[in-house]
Chain A
Amino acid sequence: MLLVALVSPVDSLGHLLLSFHMLQHWMLMMVAVPLLLLGSAGMVVLRGLPSRLRRGALGPFLASPLCRRMLRTVVHPIFGWSALLVVTAVWHVPALYQAALQRDWIHRLEHASFILAAVLFWYPLVAPWPSRRVWPSAAFIAYVLAADLQNTVFAAILTFSERVLYPVYEPTAAVLGWSPLRDQQLAGAIMWTGTQLIMLPVAVLFVRRALLGDPQEALSPRPRAPLRPRANDLLRAPFIGAVLRSRRARGVLRWTALSVALAVMVDGWVGPQDAPSNLAGTIPWTHWRGIAVLALLVLGNVLCMTCPLVAARNLLRRFWTPRLRWPRALAGKWIAVVLVVVWLVVYEALDLWATPAGTAWVMLGFFVAALVVDGLFKGAAFCKSICPIGQFQMVQSTLSPFGVSVRDASVCRGCETQECIRGAQPRAGLVPLRVAVPGCELELFQPAKRGNLDCTFCLDCVDACPHGNVALQPIRLRDSLASPAWGSSIGRTDGRLDLALLLLVLAFGAFTNAAAMTGPWLELADSLSARWGMATPMLMEGALAFTGVCVLPLGAALTAALASARLGGGGWLGNFNLGAHALVPIGAMMWCVHWTFHLATSAQTVIPASQRAMLDLGIGWFGQPEWAQSCCVPTPAWLLPLELLLLQGGLLCSGWIAWRQRIDRNERHPIRASLPWWILATALWACGTWIVMQPMQMRGTAL
């Protein structure tokens, strides 16, 4: 009914004829809304929400006595009846009614207020489950008839008026061959009889109930079956669970990624050195990055799970067994911090996104480094301490909704073999295993693991656990970023300077990386390099990037840490380490905004690049390259609002973590201590908002 009212020709004709506009409003208020309420949609939606959202976000409101009182007032019959009267009266004022036809937002407001008023009016009548009618049936007869009476007054004014009340319809009705006055009379008749067609049967129904008794009043609460606990395990979900659980399926995904990576590298070396026409200029920088951040936001670290480097490493280890252990002195994130800085600076200085051969060489460098390190050292030292992409993925996955964790802690307490960390041999039994699997190569002991940090989602622990006790289930943001409690292989988050520096570099790197493709940044780099007599702006772009990912974060975070220590107490180093965690969400959202921008505006660039690569191989099935797909696709209208919403989500999340950290540490002045970090997060949000409003260099396209 909503579709017929809002999308069908009824809506279009509503702009030309008052009668059709009236028909539309009648359908919305008198048919669609009662049907929605009869379906008890509110409770179904509420029950269908993820429990974390329902209990965590809505729970405190629904349990609050004040909110309950307000809700009871709002759904009271007197309130509903009054709302219908006021809304109907206000929107029939000619000036407002005509304004709605000329301004989109006023028209939306009009429809929204009609629907809301109708919900408030019909709610006490329908009393959707589990609510009960607050008045006896006899009172609702008067309620309905009184509403019908006020409707009759407005309908009669329209029907019997001798002048056109809404002149905006005069020209349109005339062009369509209608008399504007007749159109108005018809509208009045629709309002009058249409409403009575609904109201009178409802009144009769309540007369019957008043005489024979209301079945709802006779209902006594049924004894409810106890709630059946359900596992939260995504590995048990249909299809996706089967794919994730299957070791072979994960292997296929990695080998597919490896094949694509090899194709991209070959094309990068031998294909044309024009980024939009080369697979190395499109797939890694537009598609892979965009999909990575979206996967992180909706699921978890899927890209590390399907990493082609792991496929190559596993192949190597079939023929070669590493014997050395990664030196303890290098076990932190220090190497990773340096490499992430180098990565971000070199990316800007050398315009890696625009040089397919450079991209291919960098990818080869990753493969060589991974094979050398993992060929020499046991475990996954490359993933844990070196890989800049892995660091990015693992840090951002602290915001992901799912994480690898144990289903039942008591099972782990009774486990003596600890296959999840030590590895498992082939076995039969309840959870059979066909091949030997290593334990967690990143040394995360499942029962003591906290959050997603350092987890590559390889799911080896799932295969290894003989109890089937490792799951992929929702994790709490608080555990990942807010709580300073000890985590396996990570330690206490407030005691790790290397980790804090990595988080800061990645958070500020998000803004630097995005700002570097805006017009003002490029102009600044050009003007500074010209002033200093540089032949190309390359060095200046590198210097600006270094300032953005290194100098600025250190300066800003040190200032915030000192202010936090002064305002809330504690040492500056602890505040520095803790505060860096609070900036992860705002940074992650900026990465998401930046890379989804590329994905949304340039996703189709892979089509001509693939067609060209196929033609180079002599395969003509895919046709001639559609070069129009490499440019000229307009930016979708929904993108900017989505970007702004994501940034604001990041800001609120950062603010919440900064405050929650202090609460969990039982600090005396949690608000004062977190204030500097709120200011810093707000400054980053303002930068991000400014960036998305700037003209952008359309990287990866022919523009």
Chain B
Amino acid sequence: MGMWNMDRDAADADAGDCAVNLPRFMVLMFVCAAAPSAVVWADGGAIVDRGEWGGGRFVLWVNPAPPTVGPTEWTLLYSADAASSSQRIVLRLDGEGGAWQEGTFTPVDAGSAMHTCVSSLPFAGEWTVTLQIDGSAWQPHTVALRVQPAAEPWHAALPWMLLWIPAGVLLVLRESLAMRQSRA
């Protein structure tokens, strides 16, 4: 196999002049843009509660932090004896006015201490989060949580909406530089 040599014809030739580069470039850009950001970046979240319960130690996170109305991801790191850890862990959420919902934590991998559960919080206010091991004699563990109203959709989209301003500044700079250089 030959050594890669930057001075070869292929490298010297102006690769960018070849029209076939544009589709390749666009495919690459598409692949980069389509890469799921959640895979690459951290999960985030804030600790809701931690301590000892059910014969083991636990930490409970919620994401987004602070929790807002809408889809909410709960993560439970729970280390206990084999008997407890193999049982179903239930998440119950009780809100004002008697509203409630339940979900079950599922381990991220078989035998993993990390469990996740996704819920959808319908309204803002005070909520009580209850952890319960199905069929266990352990008392359920409860913690209070304040849920914030959901952010307006345009709040989240605002950074995307305003990108034209820096892009516009760059365009104006580019044009003025190009005009100055062509005059010179």
Contacts and interface: CB of A to CB of B under 8 A. Distances in A.
Given A102-B46, A645-B160, A227 B13 contact: yes
A37 to B, nearest CB: 15
B10 to A, nearest CB: 9
A240 B26 CA distance: 15
Contact of B41 (A48, A55, A107, A238): A107
Nearest to B7: A222
A172 B57 CA distance: 9
B140 interface: no
Contacts of B154: 693
Contact of B42 (A48, A101, A175, A401): A101
Interface string B17-33: 11111110110000001
Interface stretch (A488-496, A571-579, A647-655): A647-655
B19 A102 contact: no
A298 interface: yes
B163 interface: yes
A638 interface: yes
Interface in A542-563: none
B20 A474 contact: no
Contact of B16 (A51, A63, A104, A175): A51
Nearest to A659: B175
B150 interface: no
Interface string A393-411: 0000000011000000000
A118 interface: no
Interface string A451-485: 00000000000000000000011100000000000
B130 to A, nearest CB: 19
Contact of B78 (A175, A227, A232, A401): A175
Interface in B84-116: 113-114
A176 B79 CA distance: 7
A129 B4 CA distance: 14
Interface string B42-58: 11111100110000111
A645 B160 CA distance: 7
Nearest to B59: A171
A71 to B, nearest CB: 14
A48 B41 CA distance: 27
Contacts of B139: none
Nearest to A636: B34
Contacts of B57: 171, 174-175
A63 B16 CA distance: 18
B144 interface: no
A225 B160 contact: no
A521 interface: no
Contact of A11 (B14, B19, B42): B42
Given A50-B21, A172-B77, A298-B26, A638 B33 contact: yes
Nearest to A692: B157
Contacts of A63: 177, 181
Given A61-B177, A102-B46, A48 B157 contact: no
Contact of B45 (A51, A102, A175, A228): A102
Which interface class (under 10, 10 to 19, 20 to 34, 35 or more) fits A?
Answer: 35 or more
A92 interface: no
A228 B12 contact: yes
Given A50-B21, A61-B177, A172-B77, A652 B160 contact: no
Interface in A670-703: 685, 689, 693
Nearest to A24: B42
Contact of B15 (A48, A175, A638, A641): A48
A103 B161 contact: no
Contact of A227 (B14, B39, B59, B163): B14
A61 B181 contact: no
Contact of A648 (B11, B21, B46, B164): B164
Contacts of A11: 42
A60 B177 contact: yes
B9 interface: yes
Contacts, number: 165
Given A232-B18, A638-B33, A57 B174 contact: yes
A308 B14 CA distance: 39
Interface residues of B, number: 57
A88 to B, nearest CB: 19
A47 B174 contact: no
Contact of B44 (A57, A107, A174, A234): A107
Of listed B17, B21, B114, residue having the most chain A CB within 10 A:
B17
Given A47-B11, A224-B7, A645-B160, A234 B17 contact: no
Nearest to A240: B23
Contacts of B13: 227-228, 230
Contacts of A188: none
B142 to A, nearest CB: 18
A233 B16 contact: no
B79 A177 contact: yes
Contacts of A640: 157, 160
A65 to B, nearest CB: 10
Interface in A1-32: 6-7, 11-12, 14-16
B42 to A, nearest CB: 4
B83 interface: no
A51 B14 contact: yes
Contact of B171 (A64, A652, A693): A652
A54 interface: yes
Contacts of A59: 178
Contacts of B43: 12, 15, 104
A447 B153 CA distance: 51
A40 B153 CA distance: 41
B1 interface: no
A427 interface: no
29 contacts: A40-B6, A48-B15, A48-B16, A50-B25, A53-B16, A61-B174, A64-B177, A64-B181, A103-B65, A104-B41, A171-B47, A172-B59, A175-B113, A176-B79, A177-B79, A225-B9, A227-B13, A228-B14, A229-B14, A298-B23, A299-B23, A401-B22, A472-B19, A473-B19, A474-B22, A644-B163, A648-B161, A659-B175, A693-B157
Given A48-B25, A108-B42, A299-B23, 9 more contacts: A12-B114, A53-B25, A104-B42, A108-B41, A175-B57, A176-B79, A227-B14, A228-B12, A640-B157
The 9 closest A-B pairs by CB, nearest first: A51-B16, A648-B164, A171-B50, A60-B177, A237-B20, A104-B44, A107-B42, A232-B19, A60-B178
